[in-house]
Amino acid sequence: MRDSAVLHIKGRVLVGPDTGDAAGDIRDELWVVDGRITFERPAGARDIRLIEGWVLPGLVDAHCHVGLDAHGAVDDSTSEKQALTDRDAGALLLRDAGSPADTRWIDDREDLPRIIRAGRHIARTRRYIRNYAYEIEPEDLVAYVAAEARRGDGWVKLVGDWIDRETGDLGSCWPRGAVEAAIAEAHRLGARVTAHCFAEESLAPLVEAGIDCVEHATGLTEETIPLFAERGVAIVPTLVTIATFPRLALGGEARFPRWADHMRRLHERRYETVRAAYDAGIPIYTGTDAGGGMAHGLVGQEVAELVKAGIPARDALSAATWGARDWLGRPGLTEGASADLVVYDSDPRADVRVLTTPRRVVLRGRVVG
């Protein structure tokens, strides 16, 4: 065995959402042997450590940025602190939605979360935050998407809209033909494509071009929601980040008053937007936008925000656990899977706020928190 101790996790093991249509979604116990989950008591085990509580798969932050702060790429020490903060909050699987830093070294650290990378942001020239993205023009989009598809872990991240200095408001970044060709190339290379989008006008062209996911999606309306639902395009609302829109608007309204007013309106209807998306059947997953200007370790707060928007607690939990892991192609609490799990004092289905205070965090079979 890699570790001498066998872990015996006992209590209520939430293997699935327990919606009444799936057998075995709740188990009474599991064991961890050599870093992997088994539901069979290991024969001959002597050194057994008992951990009791309510158990979930390691949480998923499907939109974060390890290796990034407000000014751009950070050093390895700062990246490590960011990853540790997410880990200690129970986020053991991170989809890094764009970073200029090389964080591949994290993959060799058994004490740090698993990361699914989308390479570096791809933005239009002077249409995104300085030092974050490759800033290019449409004729180069396919080539850059191809490069990031090869560099990432099955995802590519576009900046779909940003402030247009000529109009003083949010505006789409890419012409339809360029983005269609770029998404087709990513798909040919086996990668999915997501895009940062705040505004209304950028959404339909991206969905019709074949995009797989949209980040933030604050501009969803009754016209575009059915389109997302029909095409199965997922959204990651990042409500903890959308909460900062009024502050952002205040800071930019002297120069861009139209943009500031627009951001406030998007903020005011954020819960209504997310609930309408849920009611239409759009897949929704948790993401915090950690990195940049947002703190890491907020995934529990994001789940609570989804509940506040009107999503039932079990579906909000699934957006951060069972459903999110399936979407990203990573196992949960299954026989033989890596033991990446979080233990809580009480039932998270009864009150999701317990997610902010894990009792124990187990990563790759080791108790790390």
Question: Tens of pLDDT along 273-309?
Answer: 999 999 999 999 999 999 988 999 999 999 999 999 9
Quote the pLDDT of residue 2: 44
Q: What is the pLDDT of residues 45-100, one digit of tens each?
A: 888 999 999 999 999 999 999 999 999 999 999 999 999 999 999 999 999 999 99
Contact partners, residue 329, CB within 8 Å, separation at least 6: 154
d(CA 280, CA 230): 9
Q: How far apart are CA 128 and CA 104, in angstroms?
A: 25
pLDDT band (50, 70, 90) for residue 3:
very low
**Please, what is the average pLDDT of the chain?**
96
Residues 250-255: what's their mean pLDDT? 96
Please give the share of the chain, as a percent, with pLDDT higher than 70. Answer: 97
How large is the average pLDDT for residues 311-334?
98
- What mean pLDDT is predicted for residues 334-362? 97
In this prediction, residue 18 carries a pLDDT of: 77
Report pTM.
0.96
The Cα 47–Cα 126 span in angstroms is: 59
Task: State both tokens at 19.
Answer: 């919606």
Q: Are 52 and 277 in contact (CB under 8 A)?
A: no
pLDDT tens digit sequence for 136-148: 999 999 999 999 9
Tokens of 28: 């009474």
Three-state SS for 341?
strand
